[in-house]
Structure 1
Amino acid sequence: MTQRITIRDAVLNKLQILSGYAFPPPGTTEEIDSKNLPAIVVGFATENIEHEMHGGTGRQLDLTIAAVVKTSGDVYAALDQAAEEIEHALQDATLENTCDLFLLNQTQFALDQDHPLGEVRLTYTVQYSTEPSAL
């Protein structure tokens, strides 16, 4: 298992404390439909790599956490609540020592104008290092 998957799984484990959310299996969005909302999906965006001396690498991964909500009320209020809950669950700056640094970098909000749906996408910057493979 790669360090990326270890970090993703650590995020999912931390988010499991949030009640009322569906968590589709990692790597898929197939189970997201209006019956299974609100839902939280964890994925990867980009990863920058800096090669270090002696073959190791410093990595900066952008990990995304998207909460999809449906409401007949104020969609922005529901999205704001989801973002607050996610941020509260992910306050550990090392994600229980799975990485060197785990920090919120960006929050984006989007609405579906045709339906009472919205998405809040939080992007966390994750810094970690990998060691060179032994030959």
Structure 2
Amino acid sequence: MTRRIAIRDAVQKEIENLSGYSFPPPGTTDEIDPVNLPAIVVGFATENTDLEMHGGTSRQLDLTIAAVIKSDGDIYAALDQAAADIESTLQDASMGGTCDLFLLSQTQFALDQDHPLGEVRLTYSAQYSNEPTEL
């Protein structure tokens, strides 16, 4: 298992402690339909890599945690609550020791104007290093 998958799985495990949401398996959105909302999906966004002086790499993996919400009321209030739920759950700055630093870097909101649906997408940056292999 790569560090990327270990970090993603640690995030998924923490998120699944939230009640009131469904959680499609990582890497799929097949189970997201109106019956299963609200739903939270964990995925990868980007990974930046810097070479270190002694052959290792410093990496910054950006993960997205997206909550899809259906609401007949104030959709922004529902999205804001979902963001607050996610943020309060992901307080571990090392995500169980899977990375050196795990911090929120961006929050985006989107609405579907044709349906009472919205999405809040939180991007977290996980920093970690790969040590060089011994010769």
Q: Provide TM-score, normalisation by structure 2.
A: 0.96
Q: Which residue of 1 aligns with 2:51?
A: 51
SS at match of 1:107: strand
CA RMSD in angstroms, aligned pairs only: 1.0
| Structure-to-structure mapping, 1:32-43, within 5 angstroms | 32-43=32-43
Q: Which residue of 2 aligns with 1:95?
A: 95
Counterpart-to-counterpart distance in 2, 1:30 and 1:17:
21
SS at match of 1:111: strand
Could you list the runs of 4 or more consecutive aligned residues of structure 1 that deviate by over 6 angstroms after TM superposition?
none
* AA in 2 matched with 1:7: I
Tell me the alpha carbon deviations over residues 92-128 of structure 1, each in whole angstroms, 9 at most, x when there is no partner: 1111211110000000000000000000000011100
Q: Which residue of 1 aligns with 2:86?
A: 86
* AA in 2 matched with 1:122: L
Q: Which runs of 5+ in 1 are unaligned?
A: none
Identity %: 75
By how many angstroms is 1:134 displaced? Answer: 5.0
Counterpart-to-counterpart distance in 2, 1:112 and 1:24:
20
* AA in 1 matched with 2:59: R
Task: Note if 1:62 corresponds to 2:90.
Answer: no
By how many angstroms is 1:55 displaced? Answer: 2.2
* AA in 2 matched with 1:112: D
Q: Provide TM-score, normalisation by structure 1.
A: 0.96
SS at match of 1:65: strand
Tell me which moved more, 110-119 or 44-53.
Answer: 44-53
